[in-house]
Amino acid sequence: MLLIEKKIDNLKVYVFDNRKDMGKEAARKAAGIINDAILRKGEANVIFAAAPSQSDLLEALLNENIDWTKVNAFQQDEYLGLDPSHPACFGNFLRHYIYDKVPLKSVHFLFCEPEEAEAKCEEYAELLRKFPPDLIFLGVGENGHIAFNDPQVADFDDPKDVKIVELDQVCRNQQVNDGCFESIDQVPTHALTLTLSRIMKVPQAITVVPAPLKARAVARALNGEISEECPASILRRHVSAELYLDRDSAREAFNL
């Protein structure tokens, strides 16, 4: 059930009673964007987010009527220095939830060895120029990050499209809170990520943020200053972004 529909600056915000309804509605909107791109140009280029917050969306997306044979799939971030077989690798997360369940036209992984990271950033940036994205899925971190743009590395005017970043303590703790790792010592310290400037160039953005641990970050993003101190606040300037929340994640922003 939809509880709140509101526009904050350019950002359309939808609050649902529970995360299942949130995921279904976000998937319905995403399917429309993907199908429109296929109709216009014969294929759709989609950047996926990999996190437990995306599970409801991805599960609902599988039930939508989409010709996946015409969809090229991309990642927005990936750990550096993690064993490629580790289930927390974002490529593996996406395999589990969607890549192995639909017949995608192509899949472009961001994983690489640490010594290959700089070259991988350039290679992936070139791929995104070759296949201009139509849609990006996003989450919001407990520190307000989108992708792996934590506050200390966030740059609204980043000259790069993809870069290497050091993850902050809040971000790494979140990976433990999400159940992806047993302890912070297991969480990688560095990652590759699409930059904020590259994310903002994607014409459509669907951001899905459930759960009470995200409530403070959501409130800062919606009600605070637009600043790199809360990177997700930049979504309020996006040309066409929508934010889907459940009651728990919206409670501080809307006094629920």
Domains present along the chain, CATH in parentheses: 19-210 (3.40.50.1360)
Backbone angles phi, psi at 194, to 5 degrees: -65, 140
Mean pLDDT lowest among 10-19, 35-44, 167-176, 244-253? 167-176
Q: At what angle do helices 215-223 and 247-254 cross, to 10 degrees?
A: 40
C-alpha to C-alpha distance for 136 and 200, rounded to whole angstroms: 10
Backbone angles phi, psi at 130, to 5 degrees: -70, -35
Largest CA distance in the chain: 48
Under DSSP, the state recorded for 99 is I
Q: What is each CA distance from 23 to 4, 71, 152, in whole angstroms?
A: 15, 20, 30
C-alpha to C-alpha distance for 192 and 230, rounded to whole angstroms: 19
Confidence of residue 148 (pLDDT cuts 50, 70, 90): very high
pLDDT the model gives residue 137:
98
Could you read off the pLDDT of 192-226 as tens digits, one per residue?
A: 999 999 999 999 999 999 999 999 999 999 999 99
Q: What integer best gives the mean pLDDT of the chain?
A: 96
Share of residues in the chain with pLDDT > 90 (%): 88
Confidence of residue 174 (pLDDT cuts 50, 70, 90): confident
- More confident call, 179 vs 41: 41
* Residue 158 CA neighbour count, 13 Å, CB half: 24
**Mean pLDDT to the nearest integer, 109-127:** 97
C-alpha to C-alpha distance for 107 and 68, rounded to whole angstroms: 11
Ramachandran category for residue 212: left, alpha or beta (phi over 0 → left; psi -120 to 50 → alpha)? alpha
For residue 11, give the nearest of 256, 179, 233, 246 by alpha carbon: 233
pTM beyond 0.85, yes or no: yes
pLDDT the model gives residue 224:
97
Answer yes or no: is pLDDT of 181 > 90: no
First-residue to last-residue Cα distance in the chain: 15
C-alpha to C-alpha distance for 207 and 203, rounded to whole angstroms: 13
- More confident call, 182 vs 155: 155
Could you read off the pLDDT of 23-67 as tens digits, one per residue?
A: 999 999 999 999 999 999 999 999 999 999 999 999 999 999 999
